[in-house]
Amino acid sequence: MQLEFYKYQGAGNDFVMIDNRSGFFPKENTQLIAHLCDRRFGIGGDGLILLENDSDTDFKMVYYNSDGNQSSMCGNGGRCLVAFAKDLKVIENKTTFIATDGLHQASFEDNGLVSLQMIDVPTIEIKKDYSFLNTGSPHHVQMVEDLEHYNVKENGAAIRYGELYGAAGSNINFVKKIDDTTFRLRTYERGVEDETLACGTGATAVAIAMNATGQTDVTAINVNVEGGKLVVSFDKDKNGFTNVFLKGPAEFVFKGEIKI
Ligand SMILES: N[C@@H](CCC[C@H](N)C(=O)O)C(=O)O
């Protein structure tokens, strides 16, 4: 059978997109999903996302990591799925959709960037050397001085598989402060088991953690990732971090068919 797919990327975090509104896709076939994400034998991607019908919102997001397993929220994937939904004419410039962590609102800005509302973050664990928080996916955030030369894959894997996070693991973010409004980020992603060029829930976690730990007082933060630039904004009050938005590029790369 020939499978029609689309490829999108957001700041270099890349995804295979499939229009599954008819429900044809074999969702439990972990091997197939891992194969489609394989950069040598398949299409290639950090993850695969199904766009499905939902009775209460514009569409449903179903996200898989490149290892083939369904996982928690993907911020860049969510932004790319909004671009895909617009290209399919499912939506116009604004949308509300459902994902594993609940409802998300998103919109296109005049410059084409996609702004996506993320879940509220009521609590954050702050330790001496790192912070841990959930922005739809779990994130460990740690400052590193020589980030340019840091071995993200080796050190990220050691923390992800170490005693801190047990079997579920975590995504691991290494951060360097540029100035009060800008931080540089490199992320080791769970389920990809490697450094990716960007991670949206990771950028969101870093922005919140930098504010919560006093690295900055600002509430609109530029997060420079390996594949581009993201912007995270939020409100901070007695309920924690609310009105959290992740903004950045979300672009169509190519479409095609693959034999499965
Ligand atoms: N790339 C994503 C994060 C995807 C989920 C993550 N790998 C996990 O399983 O926790 C993003 O942009 O947020």
b/e burial code for range 133-166 (CB count within 10 A of at least 16 → b): bbbbbbbbbbbbeebeebebeeebbebbeeeebe
Whether the CB-CB separation of 139 and 119 falls below 8 Å is answered with: no
Positions of the chain with pLDDT lower than 50, given as ranges: none
Q: What pLDDT, on a 0 to 100 scale, did the predictor assign at position 5?
A: 98
The domain 2-117+249-259 having CATH identifier 3.10.310.10: the answer here is: yes
Whether the CB-CB separation of 101 and 88 falls below 8 Å is answered with: no
- Residue 74 appears among annotated catalytic residues: yes
Instruction: Pinpoint the alpha helices (H) of 18-120.
Output: 30-37, 75-87
Q: Binding residue per annotation — 76?
A: yes
- Residue 37 appears among annotated catalytic residues: no
Mutate to test the pocket of ligand 1, among 190, 194, 206, 245 (most ligand atoms within 8 A of CB): 190
Nearest C-alpha neighbor of 69 from the set 193, 209, 216 = 193
Residue 220 amino acid letter? A
Q: Return the ligand 1 atom nearest residue 201 CA.
A: 13
Is the fold of 2-117+249-259 the same as that of 125-246? Answer: yes
Is the shortest distance between the CB of 175 and ligand 1 below 6 Å? no
Q: What pLDDT, on a 0 to 100 scale, did the predictor assign at position 178?
A: 98
- CATH number of 125-246: 3.40.50.300, 3.30.420.40, 1.10.1370.10, 3.10.310.10? 3.10.310.10
Q: What pLDDT, on a 0 to 100 scale, did the predictor assign at position 148?
A: 97
Q: What pLDDT, on a 0 to 100 scale, did the predictor assign at position 88?
A: 98
Please identify which of the residues 11, 199, 208, 232 carries the catalytic annotation: 199
CA distance to 10, 23, 212, per residue, from 76 (Å):
6, 24, 23
Q: What pLDDT, on a 0 to 100 scale, did the predictor assign at position 192?
A: 98
Complex ipTM value: 0.97
Please state the pTM of the whole predicted model: 0.98
> Taking the alpha carbons of 183, 220, 205, 82 in that order, is the dihedral positive or negative?
negative
Q: What pLDDT, on a 0 to 100 scale, did the predictor assign at position 212?
A: 98
- Distance of alpha carbon 145 from alpha carbon 49, whole angstroms: 35
User: Domain limits of the chain?
Assistant: 2-117+249-259, 125-246
Q: What pLDDT, on a 0 to 100 scale, did the predictor assign at position 4?
A: 98
- Distance of alpha carbon 109 from alpha carbon 184, whole angstroms: 24
